[in-house]
A and B are shown apart, each in its own frame.
Chain A
Amino acid sequence: MMKRGWLYAFRVQSLCIVCFFLLLVSFAWAESDDDLAALSLEELMEVEVVTSSRRAEPLSQVAGAVTVLDEDDIFRSGATTIAEALKLVPGLHVVQMDTDKWAVGIRGFNGILSNKHLVLLDGRPITSPTTAGVVWGNTIPVSMVKRIEVVRGVWTHLWGADSFTGVINIITKSAAETQGGQSVTLAGSTGVEQLFRYGDTVDDVAYRGYFSGGYRTGDWITGEGDDRSSRDWVKQQGGFRVDWENAFTDSLSLQGDFAASSINDGASGSRKIFRPHVRDEFNGYGQFSWNRATGLDAGIGFRTSFTRELVSVADLTGGTNMLDAELQYAAEQYGRHRLTWGLGSRYFWDDIESGENSFIDKENRYTFTSNGFVQDRVTLMEDSLYLFLGGKLDYFGQTFVEVQPTIRLLHTREDSEYWLAVSRAVRADTRLQRSGSYSIEHNGEVYTVHTPDSLTTEKLIAYEAGYRQRFTADIHGDLSFYINDYDQLAMIEFDRAMRTATLRNSLEGEAYGVEAILDWTVNQWLRLCPSISLVYQDIRGVDFLPSGDSMPEEGLSSEYKLHVFTKPLQDVGFDILAGYSISPDERFMPGYFSLEAHASWKASETLMLELIGRNFGEVTSQYSPLHIGPSVDLRMTWDF
């Protein structure tokens, strides 16, 4: 009996094993390429095409540390301003300093007038030549943004001296991508905001226009003692874009925007610069661009723009004007070489009036700058090893011409990329640093800062390396290292006896940093993106500790972030951003935890509802004396 039972079990198990292998063989046979290879032309027409979306997409093929935020990333961050969307990028220090002020820095520099990187909006520089800051609150509505490319590290060989530590390139949606009507309403504990947009096409010309208005209370930001947040921020903004794509090789685009705002500035976001007053600001621009494709990855591009800004910094007020133009030519691959070159110039003039506490030597100043760059990508081994040689000449409208060269190496494999770079960069002084004087507060005392008209350029030699790996189709990693060797950085030297201070090129030192990012799509409804950014700075003044806005300080600073993107239901999303940050330039400011949440529900094909929560972590200073408290807003987007 026992023997029969054993025999039966043996037969069943054998049958199972045979079945398993037969199934395996049958599936293998079903997928065999040999079947396809034998098919005739007519038979190929009957083969069903299966999606290859799980196929690994190419890595970035850039010899540098680059992060691209697409429309979905920006949406799921719950950002209501562009500065908030930038929090997703490791290595970028993004903090809210006040109701309408954000400090955004790259690799160790972080201040409202963070003057070491370049910000572009559709190719037009929006970094102010006066202060080197960006008025983040007045840039462009987030719903207009298609993509944000962030380049960390030195890329002055392409973008020039403004891009000392990196470039933030904001690309807006084309008119064709914003057709029809859209209403975006935001309401909650921070205030209210309403945007209307409409786009259409006439023949092959697409156009769109938008207008938005908003009011922010500033109530969720508090201070201690005399410190208070800026209140009653009223903002109007509008713009248009017309695109003509002739379906052949050319595209033409005309666009313009304006933003006007008024705020009761509490001047506590940065005591070093601002004074309490009602601050009115206006900026507007018009831009024309033409692009012609001449081949694969090849073409000519021309862009020109005029920008007018009415600004007030400290108690200096006035208007600045900038007219710029640039031409770029990218040649098609020729043998081993792919050459790109470009020319650009900028004419800048202003009329700034001195105030009670601030003085500017020349109230009208005219500056002409120009530049030229060339880059050659040399293919050393096909599809595998590339050498980049490039350089840019910058003429700053004074006496000197600066050379900013780079050499980069990129090795690509099926699932990984390795890159190395050595670059030299310079940074010219700003209008505010050039001549005059202004008052700032330092250690509880008010100092008058004198800005000589003789500052030289700040200098940097950067050594960078990086590694990108696709571990599986769902797990990607990105690691970058850098050593920045600074020389002649501008800093403020204080004379305590005289209560005066002078701006000098007296700072030098090194920064050592690492940035690591992992992007893991766990399953269809869960994606995790942890990242770490560490920078150790050894910065020395000749006699003093570094001081001044956005000065790097000695010591280790770090940022740890975890983004959790979930989609529990088809039309429902829930996303969390948790982080811990230690400031790179406010050594005595403690680190802080942050927690932000975003819930979305696509109620219908035309209606999207979002709940946006910010600063659910501890109520703490984010590198400024003010405390950023929690806030909850509801956003409704209706397409019609």
Chain B
Amino acid sequence: MRRVRSFVIAVLFWAVVLCPVSSFAGGKRLTATSEQLQALYVQRLVKYVKWPVGTGPGPGEPCIVAATDAKKLRPYFSDISSSQFQLVQWPADGVHVLVVNGAPKREAAAILKRTATMPLLTIGQSPANLRQGVVINFRMVGGKLKLQVNPHAADLAGLTISSKLLRIAAIYRGEIDEQ
């Protein structure tokens, strides 16, 4: 009987103490949904981009983020102060960032064609979006969301991308990357 009790206590001890400790000790496995990660990226990316004078978010002004499906990102912007970010549904005026999420391919192409020369940080989520001219694209690699930067699209939009972002993201080189 005592052996059984000892075994039960050992199992409980392992479950409570060793299991979480081992997971924390070995580096906790962080997970998020794709939409949540996209929202977190957007909130950070604006620090690595410089807009042409008079077109970016001014001091003390919120950064206006538009999305083609704003509803999907809204839960992850609800805790952010409205003085920092304001999420709106595309189409909208006075926008600094445009996230092309959930739009059909041809509609995304039409939007990106129209906004190509506007001072807008456009963010896509497919290789097609990159070809169509987004400045930054999300790419799934090994179950993780990585970044691709399109310097030509940034030039067209008049945006300056920080060297740090260019260092940690993959650079899209047009047709060379397509091959």
Report A's interface with B, CB cutoff 8 A.
8, 12, 15-16, 18-19, 22-23, 26, 30, 33, 35-37, 39-42, 44-52, 55, 58, 245, 247-251, 291-299, 332-334, 382-383
Contact = CB atoms under 8 A, between A and B. Distances in A.
A299 B107 contact: yes
B156 interface: no
B144 A45 contact: yes
B77 to A, nearest CB: 12
Given A35-B28, A247-B131, A248-B106, A44 B145 contact: yes
Contact of A58 (B20, B71, B110, B144): B71
Contact of A333 (B9, B16, B91): B91
Contacts of B20: 22, 26, 30
Nearest to B76: A33
B30 A296 contact: no
B139 to A, nearest CB: 11
Given A45-B146, A47-B144, A49-B145, A297 B44 contact: no
A41 B138 CA distance: 13
B30 A35 contact: yes
B155 interface: no
A16 B132 CA distance: 58
Interface of B: 5, 8-9, 12, 15-16, 20, 23, 28-37, 40-41, 44-45, 48, 68, 71, 79, 89-91, 103-107, 109-111, 113-114, 128, 131-132, 140, 143-147, 165, 168
A296 B48 contact: no
Given A12-B5, A26-B20, A36-B32, A45 B107 contact: no
Contacts of B45: 41
Contacts of A46: 30, 144
Given A26-B20, A295-B110, A333-B91, A49 B30 contact: no
A12 B8 contact: yes
A249 B109 CA distance: 6
Contacts of B44: 40-41, 44
B29 to A, nearest CB: 7
Q: Which of B9, B20, B45 has the most CB of A within 10 A?
A: B20
A58 B68 CA distance: 15
Nearest to B23: A30
Nearest to B146: A45
Contact of A22 (B16, B48, B68): B16
15 contacts: A23-B15, A30-B28, A35-B30, A41-B44, A41-B45, A42-B168, A47-B30, A47-B32, A47-B145, A48-B144, A245-B106, A247-B105, A247-B131, A295-B91, A333-B91
B23 A250 contact: no
B132 to A, nearest CB: 7
Contacts of B165: 41
B124 to A, nearest CB: 14
The 6 A-B pairs of least Cβ separation, nearest first, read A293-B106, A26-B20, A293-B110, A52-B33, A293-B107, A19-B16
A291 B132 CA distance: 18
Contacts of B91: 295-296, 332-334
Nearest to A333: B91
Given A45-B144, A47-B32, A293-B107, 19 more contacts: A15-B9, A23-B15, A23-B16, A30-B20, A33-B36, A39-B30, A41-B44, A41-B165, A42-B168, A45-B146, A46-B144, A48-B29, A48-B32, A49-B33, A49-B140, A52-B34, A247-B109, A293-B109, A334-B91
Contacts of A332: 91
A251 B104 CA distance: 13
A293 B106 CA distance: 6
Given A19-B16, A45-B147, A295-B91, A50 B32 contact: yes
A483 B151 CA distance: 60
Contacts of A30: 20, 23, 28
Nearest to B106: A293
Contact of A295 (B15, B34, B114, B131): B114
Contacts of B68: 296
A294 B94 CA distance: 20
Contacts of A383: 71, 89
A407 to B, nearest CB: 24
A33 B75 CA distance: 12
A44 B40 contact: yes
A295 B114 CA distance: 8
Given A295-B110, A382-B89, A49 B143 contact: yes
